[in-house]
Amino acid sequence: MKPQEEAVPRARGRRPGSATTRQAVLDAARARFARDGFTGTTIRLVAADASVDASQVMQFYRSKDELFAEVMAIPKSALHRFNTAFEGPDEHLGERVVRASLRAWDGVPEESEPLMAMLRGAIVNESASRLLRDFIQSRLLGGTSDRADADAALRAGLASAMLVGVVLGRRVIGVPTLVAVDAEEIVRVLAPAIQNILVPIEREEENSNVTPAG
């Protein structure tokens, strides 16, 4: 037996097929996410719970993000939108993050409806609420890892609270002003605040004060 296989408990016998193995992984992931939250769950723990190798989990899902998305029925397009929002220069980060959030939660039904179902479930279920806020905050914290400072976790938490609050007010509570306003107007007003939270002004000033060579 290979060394890497010894670290993960295995059930006796062979699984009937990939479909059964995939379902076992999903069932194990669903239980593990519910018990330990997003940050407390790892691919290796899910693999152990499902009695398979971690490499088998990775064959079905390339990352913990994709596994979580499958468990929570988050469309891959929405996951891609969230992740790519952090690609690009710091100076437009707030705008990209707010626009990605609004387009995912407020866009085409195929993408927004599963997200809204998850959000409504989080309102009435503490476990679902913990999972949702944990996931959103981890996206923001992970996406700004190269910009991190001592307050990174706090900044990510504040930004996630603001973004979810806008979605709640617009799509669930139905705050008249938020419902009536165009999404781009929300981006215009909210993006500078998110920008300042995720990329502090002093950091932008440090970047802009670099002395040119020559």
Residue 17 has a pLDDT of 56
pLDDT single digits (tens) 102-115 = 988 888 888 888 88
- Highest mean pLDDT pick, 51-55, 69-73, 197-201: 51-55
- In this prediction, residue 16 carries a pLDDT of 44
Tell me if 176 sits within 8 A of 122, measured CB to CB.
Answer: no
Percent of residues, the chain, with pLDDT higher than 70: 81
What does pTM read for this prediction? 0.69
Catalogue all structural domains in the chain, each as residue range(s) with its CATH number: 3-70 (1.10.10.60), 72-208 (1.10.357.10)
Regarding predicted confidence, which is higher, 107 or 99? 99
Owner of token pair 């064959």: 59
The stretch 31-43 carries a mean pLDDT of: 88
Q: What is the pLDDT of residue 148?
A: 56
Average pLDDT score, the chain:
81
Residue 90 pLDDT? 85
pLDDT in tens, 178-192: 999 999 999 999 999
Q: For 127-168, give the DSSP string.
A: HHHHHHHHHHHHHHHHHTGGG--TTHHHHHHHHHHHHHHHHI
Rounded mean pLDDT, 8-35: 73
Residue 9 has pLDDT above 50, yes or no: no
**What is the CA angle 138-144-145, rounded to 5?**
85
Within a 13 Å sphere around the CA of 167, how many CA atoms are in the beta-carbon half? 27
pLDDT of 138 reads: 79
pLDDT one-digit tens code per residue, 41-67: 999 999 999 999 999 999 999 889 889
Report the candidate in 87, 47, 84, 86 with the shortest Cα–Cα distance to residue 64: 47
| pLDDT tens-digit series, residues 115-155 | 888 888 888 878 788 888 888 877 787 766 555 566 888 88
Question: Which range (10-14, 128-132, 164-168) has the least confidence?
Answer: 10-14
Instruction: Identify whether the C-beta of residue 38 lies closer than 8 Å to the C-beta of residue 134.
Output: yes
Angle, CA 184 vertex, CA 175 and CA 121 arms, to 5°: 45
Q: Report the pLDDT averaged over residues 22-30.
A: 92
